[in-house]
């Protein structure tokens, strides 16, 4: 195969008109045509895009079904942290993701997870010996995000052994250190951790860059940090990569890494810098087997109309057409997976909160951010029971273990905008217990029981009325259906939230799913109670 166009050479930072010759999936030659001058009327040949940090499970799709959509948007590879499926099923979950990914031409790369969440109730653990074995697999190319910052700083032997195993095999170690700075950041980076996708401000990013860390500019369904960080693409281009982290199916259908490139160029970022963050930098950092339009490379590239509109005309992987304007050439197949789900149905009484004080701790959530604030709720009570107060935008939040049958952990959350009902989900980072929030106990119980009855899913219940459910029969976190179906049912459930329950959140389910991720400040839910991230301990609801 031979193909002509404006060739984007990110290694030499140049664009020239030329021809690629491809045989047996490899680029045999790359030659300029004539004087090589760029031709504005011709298509462009560019390296395919890489998501440098993503949890495929958060799309609620299998890897092969994720690829069927992502290929349309020019994504040819992912660096996929598999700890979500590992947290609910251990090594069996990782192997499921690896095997399913083999059905797709998209080049999936997976992590060896660095930890199971503290106080999650999950019976699964990934030991240092497991990491050592996983690192021998070519498809496992990094140690998953090291969220246990105290473990690094305090020299936790098991964690340091996992880091050492990755480094011994020459594989990257991903970071997760929101707000870390000073001497603690220096110690964290010195342990061999080389990336961070949790930066929310330029100063934080620059301090991490000074420590040699790469910044993954994140724009997901809930966490959106692009606007705060995009200037790094011009000031420190070699330190930047793009990440979606968590992307729901409705957003994935709209676009993927291609949207970040277009957004960056529209804001004045050099197209070469934006494209480098989307391909060159992650390929080099993670030593991915992806081509960069050089002689001898795998023939992984895109044909696009221009570098501003970035319309994906064709996607090639290893010289084979994987997607064009008429089709995606990958077949999705139904999958099944055995997993633990031991929660039993709940009653409204299970979600009652005895008013043990006039004030209670409160989770304050902010739209578009995973960071929460610890607030104080002046309790509205009746007959000795603490109630929600929608007038002050305070509702109840509950966490129900999926691993053992026990009473819910209860709390209060502010700034959801809920007026009339409840939502629940078994997509709940990182242990994927059931998380729910709502205005009244009856609605919370109905929403939770829909999820329990399906052995995993997301649900919405308007008080006394309409309800909806998206079942997730693979591990309680992934659908076995095509993306379009998942998006349709998900859309129906979200419509109940926006039109019947009411919300001020752009992505209510994605936001709720992070309310027990207690490696991000400041107050979150855990299996044992409210968790004060800054003190790194469980705190009482009325322990002001």
The predicted pLDDT at position 462 comes to 98
Q: Is residue 37 part of a domain?
A: no
- Cis peptide leading into residue 522 (ω within 30°): yes
Q: Establish how many alpha carbons lie within 13 A of residue 270's alpha carbon, considering only the half-sphere containing its beta carbon.
A: 16
Task: Tell me the per-residue pLDDT of 125-149, one tens digit each, with 9 for 90 and over.
Answer: 899 999 999 999 999 999 999 999 9
Assign 110 a pLDDT band (cuts: 50, 70, 90): very high
Please say if the pLDDT value at position 438 is more than 70: yes
Task: Tell me the per-residue pLDDT of 482-519, one tens digit each, with 9 for 90 and over.
Answer: 999 999 999 999 999 999 999 999 999 999 999 998 88
CA-only gyration radius of the chain, Å? 23
89 — alpha (psi -120 to 50), left (phi > 0) or beta? alpha
8-state DSSP, 350: G
The dihedrals phi and psi of 488, each to the nearest 5 degrees, come to -65, -50
Rounded CA separation 90/79 (Å): 19
Q: Is residue 313 part of a domain?
A: no
8-state DSSP, 195: E
Q: Is residue 169 part of a domain?
A: yes
Rounded CA separation 488/507 (Å): 15
Q: Is the pTM of this model over 0.85?
A: yes
Domain of 148? 49-287
Same domain, residue pair 277 and 353: no
Please say if the pLDDT value at position 116 is more than 80: no
The predicted pLDDT at position 344 comes to 97
The predicted pLDDT at position 14 comes to 97
Assign 544 a pLDDT band (cuts: 50, 70, 90): confident
Q: Is residue 495 part of a domain?
A: yes
Same domain, residue pair 280 and 361: no
The predicted pLDDT at position 117 comes to 66
Asked if residues 47 and 37 have their Cβ atoms less than 8 Å apart, the reply is no
Q: Is residue 33 part of a domain?
A: no
Task: Answer with the one of 267, 287, 307 that is the final residue of a domain.
Answer: 287
Task: Answer with the one of 287, 308, 338 that is the final residue of a domain.
Answer: 287
Task: Answer with the one of 287, 309, 329 that is the final residue of a domain.
Answer: 287
Same domain, residue pair 141 and 258: yes
Rounded CA separation 483/533 (Å): 35
Assign 189 a pLDDT band (cuts: 50, 70, 90): very high
Same domain, residue pair 421 and 520: yes
Q: What is the mean pLDDT of the chain?
A: 95
The predicted pLDDT at position 342 comes to 95
Q: Is residue 310 part of a domain?
A: no
Same domain, residue pair 165 and 272: yes
Rounded CA separation 62/480 (Å): 7
Q: Is residue 3 part of a domain?
A: no
Same domain, residue pair 143 and 267: yes
Same domain, residue pair 372 and 269: no
Please say if the pLDDT value at position 335 is more than 80: no
Rounded CA separation 176/140 (Å): 19
Please say if the pLDDT value at position 333 is more than 80: no
Same domain, residue pair 139 and 274: yes
**CATH number, position 127:** 3.20.20.140
Asked if residues 122 and 116 have their Cβ atoms less than 8 Å apart, the reply is yes
Same domain, residue pair 407 and 519: yes
Rounded CA separation 498/146 (Å): 35
User: What six digits make up the tokens of 37?
Assistant: 């001058």
Cα separation of the two ends of the chain: 69
Task: Give 523's contacts (C-beta < 8 A, 6+ positions apart).
Answer: 361, 362, 363, 364, 372, 373, 374, 530, 531, 532, 533, 539
Lowest mean pLDDT among 222-226, 358-362, 441-445: 222-226
Q: Is residue 334 part of a domain?
A: no
DSSP secondary structure letters along 18-35: EEEEEETTEEEEEEE-TT
Give the residue-averaged pLDDT of 298-327.
96
Rounded CA separation 445/347 (Å): 6
Same domain, residue pair 264 and 136: yes
Lowest mean pLDDT among 105-119, 227-241, 354-368, 521-535: 105-119
The predicted pLDDT at position 381 comes to 98
Please say if the pLDDT value at position 58 is more than 80: yes
Same domain, residue pair 227 and 369: no
For the chain, what is the domain count? 2
Same domain, residue pair 268 and 358: no
Rounded CA separation 6/15 (Å): 6
């Amino acid at each position: 195969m031979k193909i002509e166009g404006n060739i984007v050479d990110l290694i030499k930072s140049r664009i020239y008109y030329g021809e690629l010759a491809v045989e047996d999936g490899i680029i045999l030659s790359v030659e300029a045509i004539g004087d090589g001058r760029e031709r504005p009327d011709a298509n462009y040949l560019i390296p395919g895009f890489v998501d440098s940090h993503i949890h495929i499970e958060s799309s609620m799709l299998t890897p092969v079904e994720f690829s069927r959509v992502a290929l349309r948007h020019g994504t040819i590879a992912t660096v996929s942290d598999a700890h979500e499926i590992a947290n609910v099923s251990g090594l069996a979950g990782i192997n499921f993701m690896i095997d399913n990914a083999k059905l797709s031409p998209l080049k999936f790369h997976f992590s060896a997870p660095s930890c199971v969440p503290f106080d999650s109730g999950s019976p699964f653990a990934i030991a240092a010996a497991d990491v050592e074995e996983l690192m021998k697999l070519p498809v496992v190319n990094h140690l998953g995000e090291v969220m246990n910052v105290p473990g690094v700083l305090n020299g936790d032997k098991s964690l340091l052994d996992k880091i050492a195993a990755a480094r011994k095999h020459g594989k990257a170690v991903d970071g997760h250190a929101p707000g870390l700075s000073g001497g603690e950041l220096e110690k964290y980076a010195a342990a061999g951790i080389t990336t961070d996708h949790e930066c929310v401000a330029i100063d934080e990013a620059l301090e991490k860059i000074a420590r040699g860390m790469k910044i993954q500019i994140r724009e997901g369904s809930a966490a959106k940090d692009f606007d705060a960080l995009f200037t790094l693409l011009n000031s420190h281009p070699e330190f930047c990569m793009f990440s979606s982290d968590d992307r729901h199916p409705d957003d994935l259908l709209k676009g993927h890494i291609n949207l970040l490139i277009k957004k960056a160029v529209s804001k004045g970022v050099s197209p070469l810098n934006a494209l480098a963050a989307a391909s060159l930098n992650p390929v080099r950092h993670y030593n991915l087997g992806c081509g960069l339009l050089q002689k001898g490379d795998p023939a992984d590239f895109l044909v696009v109309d221009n570098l501003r509109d970035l319309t994906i005309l064709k996607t090639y992987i290893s010289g084979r057409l994987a997607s064009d304007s008429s089709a995606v050439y990958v077949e999705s197949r139904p999958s099944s997976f055995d997993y633990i789900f031991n929660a039993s149905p709940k009653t409204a009484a299970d979600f009652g909160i005895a008013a043990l004080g006039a004030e209670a701790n409160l989770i304050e959530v902010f739209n578009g951010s995973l960071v929460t604030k610890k607030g104080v709720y002046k309790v509205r009570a009746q007959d000795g029971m603490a109630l929600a107060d929608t007038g002050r935008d305070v509702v109840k939040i509950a966490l129900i273990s999926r691993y053992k049958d026990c009473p819910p952990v209860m709390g209060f959350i502010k700034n959801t905008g809920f007026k009339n009902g409840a939502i629940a989900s078994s997509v709940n980072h990182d242990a994927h217990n059931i998380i729910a929030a709502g205005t009244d106990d009856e609605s919370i119980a109905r929403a939770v029981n829909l999820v329990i009855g399906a052995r995993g899913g997301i649900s919405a219940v308007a008080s006394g009325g309409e309800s909806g459910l998206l079942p997730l029969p693979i591990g309680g976190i992934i659908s076995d259906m095509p993306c379009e179906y998942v998006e349709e049912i998900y859309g129906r459930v979200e419509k109940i939230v926006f039109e019947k329950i009411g919300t001020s959140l752009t992505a209510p389910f994605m936001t709720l799913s992070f309310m027990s991720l207690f490696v991000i400040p400041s107050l979150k839910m855990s299996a044992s109670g409210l968790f004060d991230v800054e003190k790194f301990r469980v705190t009482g609801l009325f322990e002001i």
